[in-house]
Amino acid sequence: MRFFGPKLVSVIILMSTVLFTLTIYKDPYDHLKQFVNNKVVEHFFENQPCACPDRCLAAINDDFKERFRKDISPVLSLNNSELSGEINTWWQRLQSTRTKANYQQVIKELFAVIPGEGHYKDAGPHRCRTCAVVGNSGNLLESHYGPLIDFNDFVIRMNKAPVEGFEDDVGWKTTHRVMYPESAVHLDNSTHLVLLPFKMLDIQWVTSALTNGTIKRTRFKVIDKLQADKDKTMVMHPAFLYYVHTTWLNIKARRSYPSTGFLALMFALHICDEVNVFGFGANGKGTWHHYFEESPKRFKGTGHHSGGIETKIIKEMRERKIITQYTGWGARELVGGKELYPLTPRWDPGVKLLMRDQLQVKPYILLW
């Protein structure tokens, strides 16, 4: 029987060593901080919002806080499923056809299949959840980001982006895949399905796809019987889509809505303590394309998405160190076809990665 978890044992060892050092050697706290990794000690002596040594999203204190709404859950649950009239009107406008389905009945049927409790309510000084949001940009090619991506606790991918054959550049690990019915793929039992419900039929589809498979078409033919773990399935809240659309992007267009990539990033900001972004933006030639497709000769538009606005916001978050963005080798950031400034790679594939357990143990070895 395990009486103490590894984290508790580590805390006991560290605190015992600290007390021993303070008592026997009479070293002041400032000297002790020089002797050990400063950030590790600070997290024990000071009240930190999370356990990450580099930064915590909860600790950011600027006008970002005004837009970052912790009270808006990114995921639907039984207790938060109601929609205000304004949000429901906006959501209905996204739908190409009117539906006669009753929203409350659709929600009831959904949570008869997937868990209805809230998700990711465990934030606090004990948690350091690192997340990689992996976009589909061609700037991932020859980046060798794979090990760096897999080093994160959560690895969030989107739509049909493949891993096999691209592991060196995009990694192999996937904990969450954000998708909608028309972009769905089968998942293994270790991956969470995060559904983007751009229309009521999308919620009905996931209920059907995980059970009897009666819905075979939405806008066009879709997977009717989906391989995915019901217990790891969640639906992004329509209110969260509206919040990203109005508070972050401030889009006025009637039928415009955030891209899957931007929604995945905002999802990560609400459930993680540290967010690392890969595969967003143009490649080194200024071309927007997917890493798993042949590079097109012309600029690929963003459809109903406000790609330029999203790119500027991501740039702002990077400059404020809210996120860390890895942009590939020789990638360039373009907005409206104009280059903002050249981006340089931040990752040397020759650098040896230390496993997290080794990083945690290192301070204790130095003290002991």
284-300 mean pLDDT: 71
What pLDDT shows up at residue 242? 94
Q: Which amino acid is at 42?
A: E
- Quick check: 365 pLDDT over 60? no
pLDDT of residue 314: 94
CATH of 64-342, one of 3.40.190.290, 3.40.50.620, 3.40.50.720, 3.90.1480.20: 3.90.1480.20
Q: Counting beta carbons within 10 angstroms of the beta carbon of residue 254, is it exposed (0 to 12), middle (13 to 18) or buried (19 or more)?
A: exposed
Going by C-alpha positions, the residue among 43, 49, 28, 65 that lies closest to residue 123 is 49
- The pLDDT assigned to 29 comes to 44
Q: Find, among 194, 206, 201, the residue nearest to 232 by Cα.
A: 194
Residue with tokens 């600029």: 299
- Check whether 103 has a pLDDT greater than 90: yes
Residue 46: predicted pLDDT: 56
Please report the pLDDT score of residue 307 as a whole number.
Answer: 63
Q: pLDDT digits over 3-32, tens only?
A: 445 445 454 555 555 444 444 444 444 443
CA distance 155 to 162: 13
Confidence of residue 367 (pLDDT cuts 50, 70, 90): very low
- Active site residues per annotation: 257, 305
Q: What is the mean pLDDT of residues 224-251?
A: 95
In whole angstroms, give the CA distance from residue 168 to residue 148. Answer: 10
CATH 3.90.1480.20 domain range(s) in the chain: 64-342
What pLDDT does residue 329 have?
A: 66
| pLDDT exceeds cutoff 80 at 326 | yes
Binned at pLDDT 50, 70 and 90, residue 327 comes out as confident
Question: What is the phi-psi region of residue 102: left when phi exceeds 0, alpha when psi lies from -120 to 50, beta otherwise?
Answer: beta
Per-residue confidence band for 100, with pLDDT thresholds at 50, 70 and 90: confident
